[in-house]
Structure 1
Amino acid sequence: MEVESKELTFEEGIEHLERIVRELEQKEVPLEQALNLFKQGIELVQNSNNLLDHAEKQMQILLEDPNGELEIRPADFPVEG
Protein backbone atom coordinates (compact mmCIF):
# COMPACT_ATOMS: atom_id res chain seq x y z
CA MET A 1 0.00 0.00 0.00
CA GLU A 2 3.02 2.27 -0.46
CA VAL A 3 2.28 5.58 -2.18
CA GLU A 4 4.76 8.06 -3.63
CA SER A 5 3.77 11.13 -1.58
CA LYS A 6 5.65 13.59 -3.81
CA GLU A 7 3.17 12.90 -6.63
CA LEU A 8 0.08 13.44 -4.49
CA THR A 9 -1.94 16.61 -4.27
CA PHE A 10 -2.56 18.01 -0.80
CA GLU A 11 -6.09 16.59 -0.80
CA GLU A 12 -4.95 13.14 -1.94
CA GLY A 13 -2.25 13.12 0.72
CA ILE A 14 -4.77 13.94 3.45
CA GLU A 15 -7.16 11.24 2.20
CA HIS A 16 -4.36 8.68 2.21
CA LEU A 17 -3.26 9.79 5.67
CA GLU A 18 -6.83 9.33 6.95
CA ARG A 19 -6.89 5.78 5.53
CA ILE A 20 -3.61 5.02 7.29
CA VAL A 21 -4.95 6.34 10.60
CA ARG A 22 -8.10 4.20 10.29
CA GLU A 23 -5.99 1.14 9.52
CA LEU A 24 -3.64 1.81 12.46
CA GLU A 25 -6.61 2.15 14.79
CA GLN A 26 -7.45 -1.49 14.13
CA LYS A 27 -5.87 -3.68 16.75
CA GLU A 28 -5.23 -6.57 14.35
CA VAL A 29 -2.49 -4.78 12.38
CA PRO A 30 0.81 -6.69 12.66
CA LEU A 31 3.68 -4.70 14.17
CA GLU A 32 5.78 -4.64 11.00
CA GLN A 33 2.84 -3.41 8.93
CA ALA A 34 1.98 -0.81 11.59
CA LEU A 35 5.54 0.53 11.52
CA ASN A 36 5.45 0.73 7.73
CA LEU A 37 2.10 2.55 7.83
CA PHE A 38 3.44 4.93 10.48
CA LYS A 39 6.46 5.70 8.28
CA GLN A 40 4.18 6.38 5.31
CA GLY A 41 2.05 8.63 7.50
CA ILE A 42 5.07 10.67 8.59
CA GLU A 43 6.13 11.08 4.95
CA LEU A 44 2.62 12.20 4.00
CA VAL A 45 2.55 14.75 6.83
CA GLN A 46 5.93 16.13 5.77
CA ASN A 47 4.84 16.32 2.13
CA SER A 48 1.58 18.05 3.08
CA ASN A 49 3.50 20.58 5.20
CA ASN A 50 5.83 21.25 2.26
CA LEU A 51 2.86 21.80 -0.05
CA LEU A 52 1.30 24.21 2.44
CA ASP A 53 4.58 26.10 2.86
CA HIS A 54 4.94 26.39 -0.91
CA ALA A 55 1.35 27.58 -1.31
CA GLU A 56 1.81 30.18 1.43
CA LYS A 57 4.90 31.56 -0.31
CA GLN A 58 2.96 31.87 -3.57
CA MET A 59 0.03 33.71 -2.03
CA GLN A 60 0.00 37.44 -2.30
CA ILE A 61 -2.28 40.03 -0.79
CA LEU A 62 -3.26 43.25 -2.52
CA LEU A 63 -3.01 46.17 -0.14
CA GLU A 64 -3.52 49.86 -0.55
CA ASP A 65 -0.37 51.92 -0.01
CA PRO A 66 -0.37 55.37 1.64
CA ASN A 67 -0.90 57.01 -1.79
CA GLY A 68 -4.13 55.09 -2.36
CA GLU A 69 -2.57 52.77 -4.94
CA LEU A 70 -2.67 49.00 -4.77
CA GLU A 71 0.56 47.20 -4.09
CA ILE A 72 1.32 43.52 -3.90
CA ARG A 73 2.90 42.17 -0.71
CA PRO A 74 3.71 38.59 0.23
CA ALA A 75 1.18 37.05 2.57
CA ASP A 76 2.32 36.85 6.17
CA PHE A 77 0.26 34.45 8.23
CA PRO A 78 0.94 33.84 11.91
CA VAL A 79 1.70 30.25 12.78
CA GLU A 80 -0.52 28.80 15.48
CA GLY A 81 0.15 25.80 17.63
Structure 2
Amino acid sequence: MAKKKDKGITFEEGIGQLEQIVRELEQKEVPLEEALNLFRQGIEMVQHCNGLLDHAEKQMEILLEGPDGELEVRPADFAVEG
Protein backbone atom coordinates (compact mmCIF):
# COMPACT_ATOMS: atom_id res chain seq x y z
CA MET A 1 0.00 0.00 0.00
CA ALA A 2 1.53 3.28 -1.09
CA LYS A 3 1.80 5.93 1.65
CA LYS A 4 0.05 9.17 0.76
CA LYS A 5 0.36 12.46 2.64
CA ASP A 6 -2.52 12.56 5.14
CA LYS A 7 -3.32 16.25 4.54
CA GLY A 8 -5.18 15.77 1.27
CA ILE A 9 -7.12 12.67 2.32
CA THR A 10 -10.83 13.07 2.93
CA PHE A 11 -12.61 11.25 5.73
CA GLU A 12 -14.20 8.85 3.24
CA GLU A 13 -10.85 8.12 1.59
CA GLY A 14 -9.32 7.54 5.02
CA ILE A 15 -12.01 5.04 5.95
CA GLY A 16 -11.47 3.28 2.61
CA GLN A 17 -7.74 3.06 3.31
CA LEU A 18 -8.43 1.68 6.79
CA GLU A 19 -10.68 -0.99 5.29
CA GLN A 20 -7.92 -1.93 2.84
CA ILE A 21 -5.37 -2.14 5.66
CA VAL A 22 -7.68 -4.42 7.65
CA ARG A 23 -8.17 -6.70 4.63
CA GLU A 24 -4.40 -6.92 4.16
CA LEU A 25 -3.81 -7.63 7.85
CA GLU A 26 -6.43 -10.39 7.82
CA GLN A 27 -4.35 -12.34 5.29
CA LYS A 28 -2.59 -15.11 7.15
CA GLU A 29 0.65 -14.92 5.20
CA VAL A 30 1.58 -11.26 5.81
CA PRO A 31 5.22 -11.05 6.95
CA LEU A 32 5.72 -9.57 10.41
CA GLU A 33 7.52 -6.43 9.19
CA GLU A 34 4.80 -5.71 6.66
CA ALA A 35 2.08 -6.33 9.26
CA LEU A 36 3.75 -3.89 11.67
CA ASN A 37 4.02 -1.27 8.91
CA LEU A 38 0.36 -1.74 7.97
CA PHE A 39 -0.63 -1.46 11.63
CA ARG A 40 1.35 1.79 11.96
CA GLN A 41 -0.30 3.18 8.82
CA GLY A 42 -3.69 2.20 10.23
CA ILE A 43 -3.04 4.01 13.50
CA GLU A 44 -1.93 7.13 11.61
CA MET A 45 -5.06 6.99 9.45
CA VAL A 46 -7.31 6.58 12.51
CA GLN A 47 -5.67 9.66 14.05
CA HIS A 48 -6.12 11.60 10.79
CA CYS A 49 -9.81 10.65 10.51
CA ASN A 50 -10.37 11.46 14.18
CA GLY A 51 -8.83 14.90 13.58
CA LEU A 52 -11.18 15.46 10.64
CA LEU A 53 -14.16 14.51 12.81
CA ASP A 54 -13.01 16.84 15.60
CA HIS A 55 -12.64 19.68 13.10
CA ALA A 56 -16.11 19.03 11.66
CA GLU A 57 -17.62 18.98 15.16
CA LYS A 58 -16.07 22.37 15.93
CA GLN A 59 -17.57 23.79 12.75
CA MET A 60 -21.09 22.63 13.61
CA GLU A 61 -23.33 25.04 15.41
CA ILE A 62 -26.75 24.69 17.00
CA LEU A 63 -29.48 27.29 16.67
CA LEU A 64 -31.25 27.64 20.03
CA GLU A 65 -33.79 29.94 21.57
CA GLY A 66 -32.19 32.14 24.22
CA PRO A 67 -33.76 33.21 27.53
CA ASP A 68 -35.12 36.37 25.89
CA GLY A 69 -36.93 34.36 23.21
CA GLU A 70 -34.47 35.35 20.49
CA LEU A 71 -32.66 32.74 18.42
CA GLU A 72 -28.95 32.48 19.05
CA VAL A 73 -26.20 30.39 17.53
CA ARG A 74 -24.08 28.31 19.90
CA PRO A 75 -21.23 25.90 19.21
CA ALA A 76 -22.32 22.28 19.22
CA ASP A 77 -21.30 20.37 22.31
CA PHE A 78 -21.52 16.64 21.76
CA ALA A 79 -20.72 14.23 24.55
CA VAL A 80 -18.13 11.68 23.51
CA GLU A 81 -18.48 8.17 24.87
CA GLY A 82 -15.65 5.74 25.08
Answer whether TM exceeds 0.5 for this pair. yes
Residues in 1 aligned to 2:6 and 2:39: alpha-carbon distance in whole angstroms: 14
- 1:15 maps onto 2:16 in alignment: yes
Once the two structures are superposed, residues 9-50 of structure 1 have per-residue CA deviations (whole angstroms, 9 ceiling, x without a partner) of 001000100110011011111111111111110100000111
Q: Normalising by structure 1, report the TM-score.
A: 0.94
Runs of at least 5 residues in structure 2 that lack an aligned partner in the other structure:
none
Residues in 1 aligned to 2:80 and 2:69: alpha-carbon distance in whole angstroms: 30
Runs of at least 5 residues in structure 1 that lack an aligned partner in the other structure:
none
Residues in 2 aligned to 1:73 and 1:42: alpha-carbon distance in whole angstroms: 33
Question: 2:52 — aligned with what?
Answer: 51
Number of corresponding residues: 81
- 1:40 maps onto 2:52 in alignment: no
Cα deviation, residue 67, structure 1? 1.7
Identity %: 75
What is the one-letter code of the residue matched to 1:60?
Answer: E
Cα deviation, residue 6, structure 1? 2.1
Once the two structures are superposed, residues 39-67 of structure 1 have per-residue CA deviations (whole angstroms, 9 ceiling, x without a partner) of 11010000011111111111100001122
